Amino acid sequence: MFGTSGVRGPVGEDVTAELALRVGHALGDRDRVVVGRDPRDSGRLLVDALAAGCRECGVEVVDLGVAATPTVGRAVAWEDADAGVAITASHNPAPDNGIKLWQPSGQAFDGPLREEIEARVRADDPDLEAWDGLGDRRAADATDRHVAALVDTVEDCERSVVLDVGNGAGGVTADALVGLGCHVETLNAQPDGSFPGRPSEPTPENCESLATLVREGEADLGIAHDGDADRMRAVAGDGEFLSGDTLLAVLAADAAESGDSVAVPVDTSLAVEDFLAERGVETVRTPVGDVYVAAAAAEDGVTFGGEPSGAWIWPEETLCPDGPLAACRLAALDAERPLAERAAEVPTYPIRRENIETEAKTAVMERVRETVTTEYDAADVSTLDGVRVDRDDGWFLLRASGTQPLVRVTAEARDPERADALRETALSLVDTARSE
């Protein structure tokens, strides 16, 4: 039920008011819970249901209204709460919604906490209070405090920025950038959970208008968020929409010094590792998912964590992916030296990605794991998340999709022909496993 991104799916099917009520009941042993939502209209009833479940158990609910997910994550500590709940489907399309839970540290609920909540949701045996023991519900605004925190953290910079809010909850970024001295032009700034301006996920295809405005205008850079603003993607001043790996390398190089480490998921490009190694910075691999990156970023010596999908974590600030913070830091970096120049220094290697359909993805991956651990040296194999095999000149990764009947295949090398060869090796492993 609860994956690394909480519960997420179509409203009225996977995500219902009944489910939200049960999650509220499952949080009933807490004293105070912060809730916030992205602009999807379905979020109104989900917040009401979840808040009712909490209050029935005597829990005080602090309602932030429409708020970016990183605002919710930060507000758990600000409100001296025991947990936070973001009602959001993040970058998913309008028919979806979701429920994601946050710890006071800003980190999403980890595996043990998710298992505990899921067991309580399934049991739905809450300890309900009598009429005079119900929890209160009060409104609060944490957005202004989030803006102030960003302005206090990042150096002032006079940049011209085009900000594509994606009709989501990322307006906090505009206010923070203005507070830092930037001129900001917005796209799709009106919060609207039907996402009329563009699909919520900030991909190159969905952000063509942003790239065109930056390229044809006089802006220094462009910023794009998803629906709840936990993700941040960027366009350099020349109009190039930067790949997630390039952006990860640029942000990590700024956050880490020689001897430091940064946390990255197992599907991160080898180019990031090479780029950071030249600067004396080590990469620590994690399973895919911001909760895992955050857990690694919380360790001593790890100064930054990031995912190429657009989740960026500075552990000294918060363990929640903070898209607005990333946007402000990127603007400050561009003020020191143009983003396009920084991006040009990051190598680009050929990478191959394919999805293989199979209704038996779990069995297929188990057979792949058995084969790989038998045929390859143990030092070259990682089963941290799926099966990854490292070679001297590249790597390949096979992972079962968490939401679809697919096995995802990724192969990368410094040479195109070698990347193709590694891809063929990986595909052959899947084909053999499917036929057994």
Which CATH number fits the domain that encloses residue 423? 3.30.310.50
What's the Rg (C-alpha) of the chain? 22
Arithmetic mean of pLDDT, 219-235: 97
Do 413 and 333 belong to one domain? no
In this prediction, what percent of the chain has a pLDDT beyond 90?
94
Do 59 and 16 belong to one domain? yes
Indicate the residue among 317, 344, 371 that finishes a domain.
Answer: 344
Pairing status of strand 311-313 against strand 351-357:
unpaired
45 has which bridge partners? none
Indicate the residue among 329, 344, 359 that finishes a domain.
Answer: 344
Which of 48-57, 134-143, 370-379 is predicted with the least confidence, judged by mean pLDDT?
370-379
Do 108 and 54 belong to one domain? yes
Do 276 and 292 belong to one domain? yes
CATH number of the domain residue 48 falls in = 3.40.120.10
**Neighbour count for residue 164 (Cβ, 10 Å):** 28
Dump strand ranges (E) for 261-373: 261-265, 282-286, 302-307, 311-313, 351-357
Structural domain span for residue 62:
7-141
Catalytic (active-site) positions:
90
Q: What is the pLDDT of residues 61-81, one digit of tens each?
A: 999 999 999 999 999 999 999
Measured CA to CA, the distance from residue 35 to residue 64 in angstroms comes to: 6
> What does pTM read for this prediction?
0.93
Q: What is the pLDDT of residue 403?
A: 66
Arithmetic mean of pLDDT, 144-148: 98
Q: What is the pLDDT of residue 42?
A: 97
Which two structure tokens, joined as six digits, stand for 169? 């909850």
**Residue where the block lists tokens 């959001």:** 88
124 found inside a domain:
yes
Q: What is the pLDDT of residues 340-352, one digit of tens each?
A: 999 999 999 999 9
1 found inside a domain:
no
Do 217 and 288 belong to one domain? yes
Indicate the residue among 319, 344, 369 that finishes a domain.
Answer: 344
221 found inside a domain:
yes
